[in-house]
Amino acid sequence: MIKKFFILLLGIIVFWSCEEIVVEQDNPLDPGNPEYDPPVVTFTSGPQDETVYTSEVTFAWEGNDLVSEYRTKFLNDPWVDWADHTSITLQYLDEGGYSFSVQGRYTTEDTSAVVTSSFGVDAVQGPALMFYPRANFSSVGSNVTFQVRVEEVTNLTATQFYVTFDPSKLEIVSVTQGSFFQSFGESIFSFDFDNQTGSLSVVAAALGGDQPSGMGTGPLLELVLEVKATGTSYLEFDGSEVFRDPDNNDIPINETVGGLVIIE
């Protein structure tokens, strides 16, 4: 009896093995599914191969239905960790060219192609006097470095300006002349700072010669400061700044841009 049972069972197994086994491939995340759509990401807003005239830019993006996370990359910085957000605002952008990239993925970790936007920033219209970079991110006890630049000037022979800052948060370590006037020959560079009151005064000028004035964009000085306390601190021009041409006439200053130290 037992022998007959095993013979019957063996016949059933052989019968099943001869049948065609159909595997249902209805998982939309399975690359083997004929209906599988790979992850795709596209920008929905933000500059694309163009110049913007603001120091703040917002990007938004979206993926196809099953994309659950995105990661972003700004310039050559490391990729930001995967997250579900679909927009970002980039702040304190200096003059120049930039790139911003986004990549999406499924829960299976299948990733999309990287999409990248290249754009330029021309937020300051000269003649202007400005801090570069607009913002420094730092911590207590560290040093931060700024340049003070002239932007898009013509026939500039001399400048004088006054900067204020919070002495409870920042302290000037050093001030050195920049290359703008030095590149035209002999120059004057005079400064005075007071870390008790939080002030810096500067006079810079070309001394004459074959090219007694300069044009374009360039640094007047480099400023190193020590961070003393947490919080946000500003370096601001006080409104008395002047530009002068070789005949000692005033050159209108279209814009001034101060510096910002964000202390973590």
Give all strands (DSSP E) within the chain, no chain letters.
Answer: 41-45, 50-52, 57-63, 69-74, 87-90, 96-105, 115-121, 128-132, 135-138, 143-156, 158-164, 170-177, 187-194, 199-206, 214-227, 231-237, 242-244, 250-251, 255-257, 259-263
Find out whether 135 and 261 touch, Cβ atoms under 8 Å.
Answer: yes
Whether the Cβ atoms of residue 157 and residue 245 lie closer than 8 Å to each other: yes
The full set of domain ranges for the chain reads: 41-121, 128-263
Give the class (CATH, top level) of 128-263: mainly beta
pTM here is: 0.84
pLDDT at 207: 85
- Residue pair 30/71 in contact (Cβ under 8 Å)? The answer is no
Class in CATH terms, 41-121? mainly beta
pLDDT at site 11: 47
* Side-chain-facing half-sphere of 199: CA atoms under 13 Å: 8
Rounded to an integer, the average pLDDT of 185-209 is: 93
Kindly report the average pLDDT of the chain as a whole number.
90
The predicted-structure confidence for 14-26, as pLDDT tens digits, reads as follows: 444 444 444 445 6
Range in 3-7, 99-103, 159-163, 220-224 the model is least confident about: 3-7
User: How high is the pLDDT of residue 214?
Assistant: 86
What does the pLDDT average to over 192-211? Answer: 90
pLDDT tens digits, residue range 126-176? Answer: 999 999 999 999 999 999 999 999 999 999 999 999 999 999 999 999 999
- Residues 91-124 pLDDT 10s: 999 999 999 999 999 999 999 999 999 999 999 9
The Cα-based distances of 120 to 117, 197, 255 in angstroms read 10, 38, 19
Q: Do domains 41-121 and 128-263 have the same CATH topology?
A: yes
Please tell me the predicted confidence (pLDDT) of residue 7: 43
Alpha carbon distances (Å) from 131 to 22, 55, 90, 147, 201:
69, 13, 18, 6, 14
Assign 57 a pLDDT band (cuts: 50, 70, 90). very high
Instruction: Report the pLDDT value the prediction gives residue 212, as an integer from 0 to 100.
Output: 79
The predicted pLDDT at position 5 comes to 42
The pLDDT value recorded for residue 211 is: 65
Say if residues 103 and 41 touch (Cβ distance below 8 Å): yes
Strand partners, 53: none
Task: Report whether pLDDT(68) > 50.
Answer: yes
Give the per-residue pLDDT at 210. 65
